Amino acid sequence: MIYTKLVVSWREGLHLRPAARLVNLAKKFSSSIRIHVGERAADARSIMQLLLLSASLGTAMLIEVDGQDETEAASAVTEFFGNSETTDSGSQANRGS
């Protein structure tokens, strides 16, 4: 399992267009990709769940990737958002927000 801390750096936040691109990106991988914002979490394959996160400019997110191609998926999501701090582990200590 890989956890990556990211910050939304787009002025408009995670709105419809980038959310749709993220959904398409997530569907390329077999791994589970979850986006956490505070107490809320979204499956990266669900545009509605992503939009309900209300991730605006500067919002801190924790990306959780688990599965056979987790390394590639985590790298792709990190590249998509353009910034990161990644840790490799199943430990809950790495989920600090």
Residue 15 annotated among the catalytic residues of the structure = yes
pLDDT the model gives residue 82: 86
Whole-prediction pTM value?
0.83
Catalytic-role residue among 9, 12, 15, 97:
15
The CATH number of residue 48's host domain is 3.30.1340.10
User: Is 41 among the domain residues?
Assistant: yes
User: Is 34 among the domain residues?
Assistant: yes
> How many domains does the chain divide into?
1
* AA letter at 28: K
User: Is 96 among the domain residues?
Assistant: no
d(CA 75, CA 70): 8
d(CA 18, CA 30): 20
Range of the domain at 83: 2-90
In tens digits, the chain (97 residues) has pLDDT values of 999 999 999 899 999 999 999 999 999 999 999 999 999 999 999 999 999 999 999 999 999 999 999 999 999 999 999 854 545 555 444 444 4
